[in-house]
Structure 1
Amino acid sequence: MSDATMGPRALIGLLGDWRSGGAAYEDLAARIRLLIIDGRIAVGTRLPAERELAARLGLSRTTIAAAYARLRESEHLESLRGSGSVTRLPAAHITPLHPTGADSIDFTKAALPALPWLGESARAAAERLPAYLGDPGYDPIGLPELREAIAARYAARGLPTDPDEILVTIGAQHAISLLSRTLVGRGDRALVESPTYPHAYEALRGAGARLVAVPVGGESGASLRAADTGDGPAIAEAIRHVSPSVAYLLPDFHNPTGRSLTDRDRELVVDAASAQGTVLIADETTAELDIDLPFRTRPLAAHGPAVMIGSVGKTVWGGIRLGWIRADRGLIRRLLAQRTPNDLGTPILEQLLVAELLPRMDDILELRRTQLGERRAHLERALAERFPQWQVPHVHGGLALWVHLGSPVSSQLALAARTHDLLITAGPRFGIDGAFERNLRIPLGYGEDVTERALDALEAAWGSMGAAPLVDADVLSAVV
């Protein structure tokens, strides 16, 4: 819940090109409703006064009042005496985490299904659990054997690591939040890529950071060049110019563009951060999901000081909430002190399960490489046939395509897709300023049958835009 006030300039920046051919008040209400549903406007935010917003948009106050009335009817806005119009979510939005219709598809998640041998590994982990039942079970740092296995994985990737440099967390998002609370003071600058993973910039902003965005990946997420992606110099220059306290980066198979930094890029970024005293946070949740990257890379910390975040959510299964932080021992101690008031440790059984799986990581990655390669080929063919006007990048790994639509209609398309039982996240969700209306993230991880059904719905939505008022489904969208 937020207690923020949104001024008219900030709201207009998020609205983008909100007109879709219907009545102005209906179009405005539909766009604000989508912004609330997908989290770009936090629940509990006070919207601009009707008169003020009308003046900024060049509309009559009657039009704004009618739009706000529609939002109150759909229970996305509440008028409170002395507080103005405050955003909310109706009860139907709060409860379901997945589409509720029998034919509904949730395309908001860039993830893969569980490993086929996960059940077998879980049984093996459960058989080892009795050895730990004599202890209280609260483990804020991680089991020694698991930290050793994680350290060994880093060493195999060219980054020698001591188990004391590992802190096990409850997933990568927990790691991001913990680092944000530990490293960011209110008002500190935090550099993020744009576009980027939404829950990361939300965690930094929640810790009080002032976000500074650096554009990456090109407007359409164009396919990588073997020699250089070009992002390293831009990120390094932004660090030198802004001198942020922290910089959050996705160096490998970036979410959502799919680009990867070359080793030369990484050297430039690390050198700039070291000179400015900026703490680099490298999110490696998709780092090993390589299909056919045309150049070799090493972890960012192999080039100099950097904090690393990892997890098994993208390689093993999202239902296993376990991640880790690799950092120097001093920061590990600070993180432990910050963690204790908020949670009491990572579940032992899940740690034992991941300890079972990490020695088989090469087998896991080989399976994922095959799956992602097949699904990439299928999705590229299908998109080319159904949407020849879209620009579809050829990514070399990761879990999504950052498609360029050719027109600033991403939010409108996402809203139309809901009427066809498809949840998909609009491009602006990945920007901190309402940009990327020309982009749409399409996940790679779904099987061919589900993907075809999703594309059927997307094609129907694309054809229906402007033909009728757009109404959103009663489902809360999530992004992972």
Structure 2
Amino acid sequence: MTDATLSARALENLLGDWRGAARGAVYLALAERVRLLILDGRVSVETRLPAERELADRLGLSRTTVTAAYRHLREQGLLRSLRGSGSVARLPGAPAAMPAPPASLQLDLSKAAPAALPWLAEVAREAADELPAHLGDSGFDPIGTPALRQAIADRYALRGLPTSPDQIMVTIGAQHAIALLSRVLVGRGDRAVIEAPTYPHAYEALRVAGARLVTVPVSPHDAIAALTSSDDEVEALERAFARANPSAAYLMPDFQNPTGRSLDESGRERVLDAAARQGTVIIADETTAELDIDRAFEPLPLAAYGPPGTAVLIGSVGKTVWGGVRIGWIRAEPTLIRKLVAVRAPGDLGTPILEQLLVTRLMPRMDEILALRRAELRAGRDRLEELIAEAFPEWHVPHVDGGIATWIGIGAPVSSQLALAARSQGLLIAAGPRFGIDGAFERFLRLPICQPVAETEAAVQALRVAWESMAGMPAVDVGLLPAVV
């Protein structure tokens, strides 16, 4: 019997604006949206869905409509009925209950982030020695210590973008920064441009703020490597800005997660110019910007390519120092920084002082940190490419030149099924639809290149067993999703 239960309210939130895209019978539109939620993992396998009457009341539908939707999902093999337990999510061809992962193997490749710096504990002890000097006040710090803000500003200056401390706000990681900016820059019903695929927690933050999302496709890195500019994507962004007149756009200009694509300097200028014409503010996520392996050019931070205020920059130490050090920042014009401080209090009352002291000590050593990370990324990328070529010669692995992950084409719309099968081998991976809207990208799989080589080798071995276990299983019917993405 399943333990996970989804309430009608929770399912309503996951469904989003499913009615706006409805075509034909309402029950089919509802079934289609639930299907996509199951396929991309937002509704986990073995989760009990709300009772038909409960969901009908919540959505303002007749029970007959919900009953028909559930019946349609059962016919597709995406729900099964348990006596006394209602309707439970499943995937076609998957066993009714997955076996427990073997205790000897627990690998998590769903998180593309490296382990902590080898000298992090030592620096943390040094930072703790500084703490007594900061214990005389309340400790609530909504903007960041002066020393850390200066250190972050100095880092931008070294990268070619003069910055003053009053342009910096320290946050509790990059995700916190994205959420704050979404609340300030986006009003309910405003349009916001995002890339597709993209970092899923970014579009979730924009949706929570009430944004209507406008997607622009991004190609995997080596699909555009021969071009002088990623013209197709840049032209699509220009059209999206002109047509949708968005209040904000979330972009990753460097080593985009998950594709690994970087915009060249011409593309950056064009995107900033198009945004400035519409008054669109670009939220530029630069958490991976300096994780270069062998990129052919060294761009400036995105804000250097356009008028002041057109691009707001986000950074963090999660991909360089360690994800457990929850320090990020926003670089923006002082007027926007003041607005962000004003809206921050309902969500949190400040960034931890001890972690700020730690990062203040590490910022002057960032070149040393990046040298270590780049060597790790090179080894991880090269070994992953070798292993995938041997184990899965039919898969396409883009040769990324930096960043934290690669966006692999697996040749069939079975990414969600593969993620489920991998779980039974003790391996957690991020299926392609997790990075898209409404279940797209079933033909893709994101794998990190920032893991230790030994873990990568074990993971690919588990992935091969999972792939072979799917032989003869029917592929998930992806219906109206595009055949090529």
Asked whether the two chains share a fold, i.e. TM above 0.5, the reply is yes
Cα distance in 2 between the residues matched to 1:33 and 1:256: 15
Q: What's the secondary structure of 2:10's corresponding residue? A: coil
> In structure 2, do the counterparts of structure 1 residues 60 and 31 end up closer, same or farther at CA, with 3 Å as the change threshold?
closer
The Cα of 1:210 is off from its aligned counterpart by 0.6
Match of 1:12 in 2: 32
The one-letter amino acid of 1:15's match is R
Mean Cα deviation higher: 221-230 or 175-184: 221-230
Match of 2:420 in 1: 415
The one-letter amino acid of 2:294's match is D
> In structure 2, do the counterparts of structure 1 residues 185 and 60 end up closer, same or farther at CA, with 3 Å as the change threshold?
closer
> In structure 2, do the counterparts of structure 1 residues 261 and 64 end up closer, same or farther at CA, with 3 Å as the change threshold?
closer
**8 Å contact 1:244–1:278 — kept in the other structure?**
yes
In angstroms, what is the RMSD of aligned CA positions?
3.1
The Cα of 1:337 is off from its aligned counterpart by 0.5
Cα distance in 2 between the residues matched to 1:66 and 1:157: 50
The Cα of 1:15 is off from its aligned counterpart by 3.5
Q: Percent of counterpart pairs with the same letter?
A: 55
Deviations 1:22-44 (A, max 9, x none): xxxxxxxx946944139x99999
Match of 1:174 in 2: 176
The Cα of 1:240 is off from its aligned counterpart by 1.4
> In structure 2, do the counterparts of structure 1 residues 365 and 33 end up closer, same or farther at CA, with 3 Å as the change threshold?
closer
The Cα of 1:309 is off from its aligned counterpart by 0.4
> In structure 2, do the counterparts of structure 1 residues 100 and 384 end up closer, same or farther at CA, with 3 Å as the change threshold?
closer
**8 Å contact 2:105–2:425 — kept in the other structure?**
no
> In structure 2, do the counterparts of structure 1 residues 136 and 371 end up closer, same or farther at CA, with 3 Å as the change threshold?
same
> In structure 2, do the counterparts of structure 1 residues 64 and 362 end up closer, same or farther at CA, with 3 Å as the change threshold?
closer
> In structure 2, do the counterparts of structure 1 residues 145 and 61 end up closer, same or farther at CA, with 3 Å as the change threshold?
closer
The Cα of 1:345 is off from its aligned counterpart by 0.2
Cα distance in 2 between the residues matched to 1:186 and 1:68: 37
Which of 186, 189, 196 is matched with 2:191 structurally?
189
The Cα of 1:67 is off from its aligned counterpart by 2.2
Q: What's the secondary structure of 1:192's corresponding residue? A: strand
Match of 1:313 in 2: 318
Mean Cα deviation higher: 136-145 or 1-10: 1-10
Mean Cα deviation higher: 119-128 or 382-391: 119-128
Q: What's the secondary structure of 1:130's corresponding residue? A: helix
1:351 has 2:356 as partner: yes
Structure 2: gaps spanning 5 or more residues: 1-8, 19-27, 90-100, 476-485
> In structure 2, do the counterparts of structure 1 residues 72 and 322 end up closer, same or farther at CA, with 3 Å as the change threshold?
farther
**8 Å contact 1:51–1:61 — kept in the other structure?**
no
> In structure 2, do the counterparts of structure 1 residues 128 and 15 end up closer, same or farther at CA, with 3 Å as the change threshold?
same
- 1:177-326 matches, cutoff 5 A: 177-218=179-220, 222=223, 224-225=225-226, 227-230=228-231, 231-304=233-306, 305-326=310-331
> In structure 2, do the counterparts of structure 1 residues 432 and 353 end up closer, same or farther at CA, with 3 Å as the change threshold?
same
The Cα of 1:101 is off from its aligned counterpart by 3.8
Deviations 1:393-437 (A, max 9, x none): 000000111000111111111111111111111101100121101
Alignment size in residue pairs = 433
Q: What's the secondary structure of 1:37's corresponding residue? A: coil
The one-letter amino acid of 1:455's match is V
Which of 444, 447, 455 is matched with 1:442 structurally?
447
The Cα of 1:296 is off from its aligned counterpart by 2.1
Deviations 1:131-181 (A, max 9, x none): 001111000000001000000000111111010000000000000011111
Q: What's the secondary structure of 1:168's corresponding residue? A: strand
Cα distance in 2 between the residues matched to 1:434 and 1:46: 22
The Cα of 1:262 is off from its aligned counterpart by 0.7
Mean Cα deviation higher: 1-10 or 163-172: 1-10
Cα distance in 1 between the residues matched to 2:354 and 2:397: 41
Which of 432, 454, 461 is matched with 1:427 structurally?
432
Which of 39, 63, 79 is matched with 1:67 structurally?
79
- 1:103-122 matches, cutoff 5 A: 103-122=105-124
Match of 2:144 in 1: 142
- 1:439-478 matches, cutoff 5 A: 439-467=444-472
> TM-score, structure 1 length as denominator?
0.83
Which of 3, 7, 10 is matched with 1:2 structurally?
10
Deviations 1:50-103 (A, max 9, x none): 86478679x7687479925259859967xxxxxxxxxxxxxxxxxxxxx89442
> TM-score, structure 2 length as denominator?
0.82
Match of 2:393 in 1: 388
Which of 34, 37, 43 is matched with 2:44 structurally?
37
The one-letter amino acid of 1:404's match is G
